[in-house]
Every structure is written in structure tokens, then in C-alpha cells.
Structure 1
Amino acid sequence: MFKQILSRLPRKSAKSLDSSVDGATPPSSSSSSRSADLQANRSTSLDSQVPAGSISGLNHLNKHSLPVDSRSVGKHSVANVIANYEALPSFKDVTAFERQSLFIRKLDLCCVVFDFADPTRDLQEKEIKRQTLLELVDYVTSGSGKFSEIVIQEATKMVSTNLFRNPALPPREHMVIEKIDAEEEEPAMDPAWPHLQIVYEFFLRLVSSPETDAKVAKGYIDHSFVLKLLDLFDSEDPREREYLKTILHRIYGKFMVHRPFIRKAINNIFYQFIFETEKHNGIAELLEILGSIITGFALPLKEEHKLFLARALIPLHKPRCVAMYHHQLSYCITQLVEKDCKLADTVIRGLLKYWPITNSTKEVMFLGELEEILEATQPAEFQ
């Protein structure tokens, strides 16, 4: 009787399970699963993206491309991709007409993320990817014409796949953020840096290139992309933060539509740091970017910028690790006072509010900053 009842129950269709794989999924914390998702979502053909005359060129490149089974998205498919990881032909070995399609395939090849925890693993494949990344950097630098939308889309996908890992670099539990001489703390270095550095260089040159149309690129380097880029500033690797600082500054300069959002997003990082965590590795770099931005503020200053001074910059004197970023903070504040002398009153009152009582080293820093502010103050405001 039970068998009869069970036989009448509807069985779950396999299609309903497959459909959950087809949609876009957020980046996973595992490099292997992230690579598998990218391989599963990868387009099976580029014929629709190039003129009909280049079909023969694509057929020539197909024999070098990675075999991808869109039906398998597990660890076995990743192992299969790495096992068949082969270098694509050089740009000089194909016609000028075929280079864009080859460029896209090279971007696709670099979407495979390797595990650098084991330095002896996949050495040949890692070297193929490194050389391919260097070729991509040269291609972007060569200025071979305006980058099409599909090129920008594939480029940002490759950059996102490699950079937006989770976590970027695991935080060390023994890190002492209250230490005044923070330089004594040995920075953690990401073992994947041999690849990451070239990806950062590629993205920096892509953003800086006059061949990149901001109107087209803003659809892919959007608010979500910028937020993920800002999250990387908490990396313990100073080399990564240096690249991020330069790239974000280029994005701010090229994409005017993103400027208010970038300032607001940095503000939010400061608020969380001041009032919640007091833990962040990239405050100095973010302040350095803001110092350059403040220099370009038009006069008279907007109310938004004055509120930023009162609500974010001045409270940044509160955290115990202020020595890690005080030089950059002092520069930002001095720039604002030089643009509007009336802000000196707000700054000096703020300094007195957070004045250290028992920390002599911190007090010396505050005295030096106060001296710079007073030098920029006009007699009327001082009175």
C-alpha cells in the first residue's frame, strides 16, 4: 500500500535544478567554484560578435580554446579546464582583423583562477596565464583603436574574477592596530601577487587609455564595481593598496558621473571605521585620494564638503591608531582651511574635542597639525 502511495507522488524535475545554475551568481569564497561558474556561464561562440568575414579566423583560434561543458559546474569541470589549459597564439601571429576576437579569447583564458596556497601546483598553467596577462597589457598599451563594448565587458569580467576574491587577504589575528609605530608590523604579502599585479596593471591602463570610452565603460565600471574595488582597500598587502589608490583616482577623473557616489562611499568607510571597528588597512590611501580631490574643489566650497570635514575628517582624530594615517589626514584638513579660512574655527574646536590627555606622542602630532592650521588662518578668523 505504501508503495502505491509513493508511486503516485510527483517526482522533482531535473530541469528545475539545472535552472538555478543558469542565472548569475555572486562570487564565491572558493577559487575553484568561482572558476567553475565562470566556465559554465561562458559563451560558446563569438561568431555573433564579429563580422562574417572573420569566421575563418575564429575557426583558426577555436582549436586553441578551452573545452567547456556548460552542463557541468562542479569541481570536476574546473580540473578539466586546468588539464586542457593551453596558450593561445600571439597577436603577431594573426591578422589585424582577427586580433580583437583573439583579445577576447585571451581575456576569457585569464578568467581561470589558480590556487597559490600550494606553490608547486599547476606551475605550467600559471606561467601560461602570466604570459597571457602580459600580452593583454601590451595590447591595451599599444592603442589599436577604440575598445568596443564587448571588449570592455569581457575585460571587466576578467578583472572582477581575479581581483574580487573573498576574502582578498585573510586578516591576521595578532595585528596590533593601536601601535604608534605601525611600520614595525611586517605587512602580509599575497602569494597570488605575481598574477594580481599584472591584472591591476592591465586594469589601470584600460581605465587610463584614451581608447576607453567613459560613456560605454560606465555601464560595466558601475557603482557595484566601485564598491567592490573600495572593499579591497582593506587588504594588508601595501602593494595592492598602492595600485588601488592609483586606479580609483583614475576612475574618479574619467567617470564624472561616479564622483558623488565615490565620495559618499569613502565617507561610509570612514564612519564604519570611526564609530564601529577602528580596524581598516587602507585609511591612509583613501585620505591620499581625497587630498588630491580636495585640491580640485571649486570655490566657494559646497555645503557637502564642509559637512564632510565636520562629520568624517575631524572625527578621524579619535581612533587610537591615528598615527597610521595622520599625515594624510592633516594634509586634507589643511587643504580645506586654505580654501575657506572660516573653517579654521571648526577644525581647532574639533582638535580640542579629541585632544589626547595621556598620550604624549599623539599630542605632538596634534600640536604639529594645529601649527599648520594656525599658519593658514587669517587674523580675522584667529581673533
Structure 2
Amino acid sequence: MFKKIMKSGSRKTSRNDAADDPMFGFDPASTNMVVNHASRPSSPATPKQQQPPPMHSIEPLPLFRDVPPHERQPLFLRKLQICSFHFDFTTPLQNLREKEIKRQTLLELVDFIQSKTTTITELCQQEMVKMISLNIFRSLPPSPHGQQSPLLAADPDEDEPYLDPAWPHLHLVYELLIRYLLPSDTTDTKIAKRYIHHSFVSNLLHLFETEDPREREYLKTILHRIYGKFMVHRPFIRKGINNIFYRFVYETERHSGIGELLEILGSIINGFALPMKEEHKLFLIRALIPLHKPKAIAVYHQQLAYCVVQFVEKDYRLADTVIKGLLKFWPVTNCTKEVLFLGELEEVLEATQPVEFQRCMVPLFRQVARCLNSSHFQVAERSLFLWNNEHIVVLIAQNRSVILPIIFASLEKNTESHWNQAVHGLSSNIKRMFMEMDPELFEECQQEYEEKQAKWKEVEEQRQSRWRRLDEAVEERERVGGEDHMIVS
């Protein structure tokens, strides 16, 4: 029995077993590789840094300047543990001592990172990002506006913005993260991207829904730095912002951070290389242009217009796409939105070349003609201000034979009957401009307008005549019916 056991234990290694061996197929005699141990860097053997035991209570720790340099990294980890404790800020008088210790500790960590005196070990970076995540990634409080969209309910000029009670600690945590993301010798990007990963960025994007404007400003700065520092995250960030816009436009119309996200995108678009990728053009068509649809556009329109104009300035061929997109979402009854659209339209036209202008000028000036006749004087006045832009006047002059017949009737009605004197005067000035530009064309449009007015008056007279005959027939029928009733009675 013993011989059988020995025989089975000394069997040859099978091919499958050998294939799993990392040294399978390696013959030391068949290689010229030389292992030179002297060529390794001569660094003292340091024990691997370990996480200190967990803390169960908050007690003040010594300052970094009061300990020798070799003890600062372990002290850094202990201070991170203090900053990982959570407190209830809805009850201000609770845990006052512990809250103050945590706040002072956060200040020390920010100063320590900012001083750049010590290279932060990988374990310290890991634990620091973990502590930051524990503090900032949280359930946001319910909106003080209830079910109504915060963009619609909050007037930035009149209403008091929501302020998070935990801000005394939160803003220091954000400061620490900003200092960590600064380009420096104390943090290695290759190590940092192990902890600033896709999940971390996704959670940051979710935080943009906070109604505290101070937090959104920090988030804007941090996300922009991550975009610049970690190239691997750039497509993910753009896709995440895309999804936020889609959900806002097509589902909820509830989001507080649209303006801040658009500010980040404005900087990103400015750095797009030419020729522009198809992905970026689709982003313009599918995300930015539909953002003109929501009612709350006034809150973020300035940032949106900047992004859209950046696209046109980068690639003038996109002007036709942008103008037609604006016309698609042009407001019908919201005069405030119309004024915003007209301002954005002027900026886009200023970057538009003649060929692209000719592709969209007919539907564009049909809409401008409707705005000229608006009873809201700001809409009519803003549309007339288009003629104050020299570039737009040149484009109109080059295509006056098409544009003047479209808008002539609106200009004439303004000079005849508009209630606002400023609109009346501006319309007269533009008519005079066209008259000096092309007297023959102006005369033709004048004659055509008068003929249409004469036909309209004739049609109106016929309509009134039919109504009069109908009224007379009704009166006659009632009179005859009344006489018959008297005879019968």
C-alpha cells in the first residue's frame, strides 16, 4: 500500500497542470536574461503603511507642525477618521464640541494639502477620497418648493436661495477635494485616477441637483478640473451631462444645476478641435437645441446661448441647423422667451456666412415679421434692433429682394397703427433704409401692399354686405312671423 502511495505522488506533471504554471515552458538554460540585483534602486526597506485602528469617539489630535515628519502620514490618516464622522445639523446645539473639532481638523487637512510639503502616499489618497465621498455623497433634502420645479418657483432676484445647514463642514470638504485635484508634485495622476473613478464622477453629477448655489459652484469647479486632469473621464462626463439634459427636457423639467453644467460645457466646446467630430454635432442637435423648449429657460439662457454661439463660431456651417432649431422651438405666447430668442438669434446671425443665411432666410424672416407686429412692445422693439447690427444689415441687403416683400407689410402696419412710439419710429427708420437701398424694389413692395389692402377692403366690404343682408332677412322673417301670430290669435 505504501509503495502505491509513493508511486502516485511521484507521477509526472500533466500538460494541463503545466499550462497553469506561470513558469511552464521557461528554460533557464535557453535564455540570455541576466538578473542584476545591483541595478535595483537602493532604497531603504520601509514597512507598508497600514490603516490605523478605527476611532469610536472624537478627540483633538496634535497639529502637523507639532509632530516629526515621519509621523505626519499616520496622523493624516487619524485626522481623516475624525472627518468621517457624521453630525445632524438640523439641530444646531447638538454635538457642538465634536462639530468644532471636525471643522478645525478639516481646516488642518486643507492647509496640509495646500502646503505641498509632503508627498501623499497612496493609502492616504485612498482614505482621503473615501472620507470626501462619505461627506458629500448623500441624500439631498427635499425641495422647499414642493412638486413645483425649482427653476420655475425660485426667482434669483427676489427669493432667498436654499442654504444647506451642513455647509460649515461641506465647503471645507470641497476645498480639500479642489486642492487634491490641483496639478502638483504631491499627487500622482496615475494613482489619483484609481480613486477618482467613473462611479465617483457619476455621483458628482447627481449632486448638481442640489438647490444650494454655493455647492453647485464648487461642483462646477471640481468637475471642470476632473475633465481637464483625467482624459479617460472626458467621454463619460459628456455622456453624463447629455443624459441629465435629456431627462430635464423630456421628462421632469426639474433640475437646479442646468446653468452650471452649461458653463462647464461652454469651456469644453471652446476647446473642441476642428474639424468637429460628429458626436459633438449630435450633442448640439439632440441636447442643446431642445433645451430651448422648457418654460424655465430664462434661468440658464445666457449660458445656453454662449454654448450655441460657440458651435457656430467653430463651424459656420452649423448656423442653418441652429437657426432652424430656434424656429422649431420658438415661443407662441411667452413674450419673455421671445425677447431671449431674438437676442440669441442676433448673436447667431453675427457668426453666420451668406451661404448659410440664404438657406434659412425665408422661414426666419417670416417669424421676424410676426415679431415686428407683436402687441408686446419689447418683442417688436427687440426684433427691430436686428437692423442695428452691421453684419446682419449686410446679409439683409444682399438678399433684400427676398426679405423686403416678407416684412414690408409688418413695417407698414407698425408705422400706421402701432401703439408704441418707439416701435413706430424704428419701423419708419427701417423703411427709409430700404428706400435708400433699393428705391425700385421699395416702390414695387409699396404698390403690392396697396393692391393687397385694396383687395382686402373689397373683400371686407363684401363680407359686411352679406352680414347686413342676413340681418335684414332675419328681421323680415321675425316681422312676418309676428304678424302671422297676431292673425291666428
Deviations 1:345-374 (A, max 9, x none): 110000000000101111000000000000
3-state SS, counterpart of residue 172 of structure 1 = coil
Is this contact kept in 1: 2:181–2:225, CA < 8 A? yes
* Cα contact 1:267–1:308 (8 A) shared by 2: yes
The answer on whether the counterparts of 1:227 and 1:265 sit within 8 Å (CA) in structure 2 is yes
The farther-off stretch of 275-284 and 180-189 is 180-189
Q: Establish whether residue 154 from structure 1 lines up as the match of residue 151 from structure 2.
A: no
Query: Of 152, 164, 178, which aligns to 1:204?
Result: 178
Unmatched runs of 5 consecutive residues or more in structure 2: 1-44, 359-489
- 1:171 is matched with which residue: 140, 143, 159? 143
Q: Is the 8 A contact 1:317 1:354 kept in 2?
A: yes
Write the letter of the residue equivalent to 2:142.
Answer: P
Residues 287 and 332, structure 1, Cα contact 8 Å, conserved in 2: yes
Distance in 2 between residues matched to 1:145 and 1:381, nearest whole Å:
57
Between the aligned residues of both structures, percent identity stands at 63
CA deviations on 1:31-54 (whole Å, 9 max, x unpaired) are xxxxxxxxxxxxxxxxxxx94599
Partner of 1:342: 317
Q: Distance in 2 between matches of 1:197 and 1:54?
A: 29
**1:213 Cα shift?**
1.4
Q: Residue 246 of structure 1 corresponds to which residue in structure 2?
A: 221
Q: Is the 8 A contact 2:110 2:175 kept in 1?
A: yes
Which protein has the bigger helix share? 2
Q: Is the 8 A contact 2:245 2:287 kept in 1?
A: yes
Contact 1:114/1:126, CA 8 A, preserved across alignment? yes
2:188 and 2:157 map into 1 onto residues whose CA distance is 40
> Is the 8 Å Cα contact of residues 90 and 165 (structure 2) preserved in structure 1?
yes
Shift of 1:151: 1.4
Is 1:185–2:159 an aligned residue pair? Answer: yes
Give distance in 2, aligned partners of 1:224 and 1:53.
28
Paired residues of 1:140 and 1:209 also in contact (CA < 8 A):
no
2:190 corresponds, among 208, 215, 228, to: 215
Aligned to 1:309: 284
2:232 corresponds to 1:257: yes
Show the counterpart of 2:94: 121
C-alpha distance in 2 between matches for 1:209 and 1:132: 23
Aligned match for 1:358, one of 333, 336, 350: 333
Asked if the contact 1:180/1:321 (under 8 Å) is kept, the reply is no
Q: Distance between the aligned counterparts of 2:244 and 2:279, measured in 1?
A: 17
Q: Secondary structure at the match of 1:145?
A: coil
SS in 1 for 2:273: coil
Deviations 1:1-56 (A, max 9, x none): xxxxxxxxxxxxxxxxxxxxxxxxxxxxxxxxxxxxxxxxxxxxxxxxx945999x
Deviation at 1:142, TM superposition (A): 0.6
In 2, Cα distance between the equivalents of 1:338 and 1:303? Answer: 16
The aligned counterpart of 2:351 is: 376
Aligned pairs for 1:1-383 within 5 A? 51-52=46-47, 67=55, 81=56, 84-166=57-139, 168-174=140-146, 175-176=148-149, 177-178=151-152, 181-210=155-184, 211-383=186-358
The number of equivalent residue pairs is 311
**Root-mean-square deviation (Å):** 1.9
Greater C-alpha Rg:
2
Secondary structure of the equivalent of 2:202?
helix
Q: Which runs of 5+ in 1 are unaligned?
A: 1-49, 68-80
What CA distance in whole angstroms lies between the structure 2 residues aligned with 1:343 and 1:112?
A: 52
TM-score w.r.t. the length of structure 2 is 0.61
Aligned to 2:411: none
Q: Is the CA contact 2:60–2:101 (under 8 Å) kept in the aligned structure 1?
A: yes
The separation in 2 between residues aligned to 1:301 and 1:256, in whole angstroms, is: 18
What whole-Å deviation, never above 9, does each CA across 1:270-305 have from its counterpart, x for those lacking one? 000000000000000000000001111111100000
CA–CA separation in structure 1 for the residues paired with 2:320 and 2:309: 12
Aligned-partner SS, 2:243: helix
Q: Find the aligned partners of 2:117 and 2:73 in 1 and give their Cα distance.
A: 9
Indicate the larger mover: 101-110 or 227-236. 101-110
CA contact (8 A) 1:66 1:109 kept: no
TM-score (norm 1): 0.78
Aligned equivalents of 1:237, 1:298: Cα separation in 2: 35
Residues 130/181 of structure 1: CA separation in 2 closer, same or farther (3 Å cut): closer
Distance 1:267 1:117 in 2: 35
Q: Aligned residue for 1:46?
A: none
